[in-house]
Amino acid sequence: MEAFKTATKVEKNGTVTLHGVPFAEGVEVEVVVRQIGSDAEPTPAPPHPHRGSVLKYDDPFAPAAPEEDWEALR
């Protein structure tokens, strides 16, 4: 697998443009973007991203199907 490495800057609208890519038009490529520099630590994800997102529990312990539909109880 051939690799191509270059450096560029993120533009104002959040886009990145690559010039001089040595692959033919239409070839599928993988793109990985990393920050350059010694302080290139990724921003950590929040520890509980879904905290506070549940608005209401209707009946969390209710059966998913009525008991008369369960073959195991027959």
**62 inside domain:** no
Residue 57 domain flag:
no
- The C-alpha atoms of residue 21 and residue 43 are separated, in whole angstroms, by 28
Number of domains the chain is built from: 1
Please give the single-letter amino acid code of residue 61. F
Q: Which whole number is the average pLDDT over 7-20?
A: 91
pTM: 0.42
The one-letter amino acid at 17: T
* Proportion of the chain above pLDDT 90, given as a percent: 23
Whether residue 6 is contained in a domain is answered as yes
Q: What percent of the chain is predicted at pLDDT more than 70?
A: 92
Assign 3-state DSSP to the chain and report helix, strand, coil percentages, each to 5: 10, 0, 90
Answer yes or no: is 8 within a domain: yes
Q: How much is the pLDDT for 3?
A: 87
25 domain residue, yes or no: yes
How far is residue 70's CA from residue 23's CA, in Å, rounded to a whole number? 58
pLDDT of the residue at 28: 92
Q: Which domain holds residue 27?
A: 1-34
Report yes or no: 48 and 54 within 8 Å, Cβ to Cβ: no
pLDDT digits (tens, 9 = 90+) for 20-43: 899 999 999 998 888 887 565 667
